[in-house]
Chain A
Amino acid sequence: MHAIEDRRDGTLYCCAATYAYGATVHRSPDGGRRWERALEVGLPPESGLALERTWHLRPGPESRPGELWLGSQDGGRTFQALPAILFHPTRERWQPGAGGMCCHSIEIHPAHPDTLVIAISAAGAFRSEDGGDTWTPINRGVLADFFPDSYPEVGHCVHKLLMHRQRPERLWQQNHCGVYRSDDGGATWIRLDENGLPSRFGFPIVIHPRDPDTAYVIPEEADVNRVTAGGRLGVYRTRDAGASWQLVAEGLPAPAWTGVLREAAASDELEPAGIYFGTQSGSVYVSPDEGDTWIEAARQLPPILSVEVTWA
């Protein structure tokens, strides 16, 4: 579940689903006072699939107003399925994760808007150089040890993937099976969680808006014990591209056994950068100084599904 502001025109978008009435995308042109839902969201009959949830939205580039990934060309009023990924030849080797089959990460190359990187659980990461007409799996070096072949072409359980805007060939991902970095657009991946993280498992990853070597993760104990690692709410930061990680937890509670969902963390573009996340226990934490210190900005909310930065 994801909510976002389109900075091109200030429109708010929210992925929403109800158990009775299905899934759609809502849009608000006036800061959230009025909402309207997209009327055409669904999967084509030949797919044999029905849409259960909408997960993630990414506004297109400035040069393409109305483009909203995946699948809308009219500012989120209607969405069309992308056959090249929906019917990808590797699809029979995909399987849904615990949250269902979901495309939760959509990254657009800042200089070449036809270059896209997406991540699907549990299918893996895919790259397109032609605006989504063809997709290539990019999972080399990424572990998937729930298969007999632990390094398959597809089937990986990516939890979150991000592209660095200043160095777009640099990708980061938090995976079910580790934390990884790619310096070649996803062609190869380097595993990083063994360089000082308490576990390989977690959901969100946040990257610094300017420094491509700085990233943040919030590890959980394990897939079979989905609470924050070490009995504390701990953010781990790397300043050296994942060669080492340091716990940055001044102001964060311990003991604590909570969790942070994949869409529930973000960074801003200030100097120094602000880092934000929300917990499944209903607290929102803010670091105004790149993780050095943390402030609990809100508490006693429902489980936090989505955190994004916008400007009032």
Chain B
Amino acid sequence: MGVVVLLPSILAAEAGGRSRLELEAATVDEALRALPVADLLFDEHGRLRPLVNVYVDGRDIRDGVGSDTPLAPGATIRVVQAVAGG
């Protein structure tokens, strides 16, 4: 199923300069793990890093959507780096 992943600039630079990727994935988790920056999103034990936020069509996956939820065709997954500091 075709979905779109949008990356922030620092991850886009590590993904060969691409901030928008189209790929086939059934779930958010599957989509994120297929990215060339998966090692930056997940720690060495496969856990999504706590300061990486992920939204599916505008909804935070930690706020009910869940990483295992099936994606609708054409869904947009937006990765956002949490803001820290002053």
- With CB as the reference atom, state the residue of chain A lying closest to B13: A35
How many residues of A are counted as interface, with CB atoms below 8 angstroms from the partner's CB atoms?
16
CB of B1 within 8 A of chain A? no
What 1/0 mask marks residues of chain B from 24 to 53 whose CB sits below 8 Å from any chain A CB?
Answer: 000000000000010111011101010110
Is the CB–CB distance between A21 and B49 below 8 Å? yes
Is the CB–CB distance between B49 and A20 below 8 Å? yes
Selecting from A38-46, A185-193, A202-210, the interface stretch reads: A38-46
- With CB as the reference atom, state the residue of chain A lying closest to B41: A21
Chain B residues numbered 66-83 whose CB sits less than 8 Å from any CB in chain A: 81-82
Is the CB–CB distance between A42 and B82 below 8 Å? no
Given contacts A37-B14, A39-B39, contact A20 B45 (CB under 8 A): no
**What residues of A have a CB within 8 angstroms of the CB of B47 in the complex?**
50
Q: Which of A21, A22, A24, A51 has the most CB of B within 10 A?
A: A21
Q: Which of A20, A37, A43 contacts B44 (CB 8 A)?
A: A43
Complex Cα distance, B76 from A273, in Å, reads: 59
What 1/0 mask marks residues of chain A from 46 to 72 whose CB sits below 8 Å from any chain B CB?
Answer: 000011000000000000000000000
What 1/0 mask marks residues of chain A from 140 to 179 whose CB sits below 8 Å from any chain B CB?
Answer: 0000000000000000000000000000000000000000
CB of A311 within 8 A of chain B? no
Q: Which of B40, B41, B44, B47 has the most CB of A within 10 A?
A: B44
Complex Cα distance, B82 from A41, in Å, reads: 23
- With CB as the reference atom, state the residue of chain A lying closest to B83: A20
A residues with a Cβ closer than 8 A to B are: 18-22, 24, 37, 39-45, 50-51
B residues with a Cβ closer than 8 A to A are: 10-11, 14, 37, 39-41, 43-45, 47, 49, 51-52, 81-82, 84
- 6 closest residue pairs by CB, A with B: A42-B44, A21-B40, A20-B51, A20-B81, A50-B43, A19-B84
Query: What would be 8 A-B contacts, judged by CB atoms less than 8 Å apart?
Result: A20-B49, A21-B10, A21-B41, A21-B52, A21-B81, A24-B39, A39-B39, A50-B47
